[in-house]
Amino acid sequence: MQNAQSKVLEGVKVVDLTTHGAGPCTTRILGDWGADVIKVETFAGDQVRYTDANMGIPFDENLCGPHHDLYNANKRGIVLNLKTDEGKEVMARLLEKADVFMSNSRLKALTKFGLDYETVSKKYPHIIWAHLSGYGTEGPDANDPGYDTVAYWARGGKLADFCEKDTAPLVPPIAVGDLATGATLAGGIAAALYQQAKTGKGDKVEISLYGSSIWNMGSMLLGLQYNKDLQFPKSRKDMSPLVTTYPCSDGNWVSLTMFEWERFFPIVAKMLGIEEYVNDPRFADVDTAYENRDIIIPIMEEKFKTMHTAAEWDEIMKENDLPHSVLKHMKDVLTDEQAFANNYLYRVTTRTLGDCYLPAAPVQIGGNFAPRFTNAPLLGEHTEEVMKECGYSDSQIAEYAAKGAVKCWGK
């Protein structure tokens, strides 16, 4: 079924000079929403083409694996050598017709090729110039290479403080910050497109992995400024007794998130068979309960650990409408009925591995339908097609290819 959300950016043209994760993710979402995204690659290709090999997924360097589809589906692909005059000329023609130019190259590289904001906005005042960096465009680290695991996770404090207290740093999950940052930037570009539609003028839209990490840490950063007792990393037993995790009889865990102590503690106490603590002044409200957490958490933990399995606790807490979840592993998401019911995961056919499941962009527009999907482009798959749209003849395309300025798939 065609997804209504795939048409909301129909008619928008995007020139995509991005690599790796966060940048391609941004333009992938724009493509999901119907934009005509032209991915510009070097002769070596975007490094995300080779991510499958690093993840132990069967890999064919001449085709597009599932990681390339994850970041670059719903795009067309062209290969340019921007070190040649001819390659620069083709890029200029693309930008003349584009609504958005998106890049995650460092600013010194963009300036070298005349693709910095000042140059592009002067030549093409209609264009939205969107840029994604590791640490932002100002400050002492503006030109440092920044990837998800270093700029988002390590610099943002997550590796050191999201682990259990007195343990080794967290092992960073790959590309989580990339995907979160890319989704945010896609929204920013959409806002700029709205302004462009009204005024005909472009704008500068910027984001960084580090800035995205800080935004996502906002609640904790506020707490650290005003609460001298708030420290990270934490032990789970440093938390409120109703906002922490407990082991169950089968070795699995449940997570509770119940901020309203007076509302929820009587229900939980009855569920655990410890009603005598409901009227105990040590646990009268959230503050006293927190002060006495060393007393009540072990009592609650013993009940959770001995009375029921995680699945049984899940049913009991659902019956009582308690905010909670059984802790799942990432592999469990691939069989989660809730994920498929909402099309958060959907089946696609890759060029190399047959069918697999891809995650959908988190914003749904127009209803709950399986997202629009076309495979990520082969290296230079649409070079001829796109160049012809820009006014080049077959003979010119062949000439430019012979000079090493462009590359066409299979030639």
Q: Which residues are catalytic?
A: 178
State the burial class of residue 122 (Cβ atoms within 10 Å of its Cβ: 0-12, 13-18, 19+).
Answer: exposed
Structure tokens at 294: 């060393």
Burial 92-110, CB ≥16 within 10 A → b, else e: eebbeebbbbbbbbbbeeb
The residue type found at 182 is G
Q: How far apart are CA 261 and CA 244, in angstroms?
A: 13
Beta sheet of 13-17, edge-to-edge order: 204-208, 128-133, 100-103, 13-17, 36-41, 76-80, 406-407
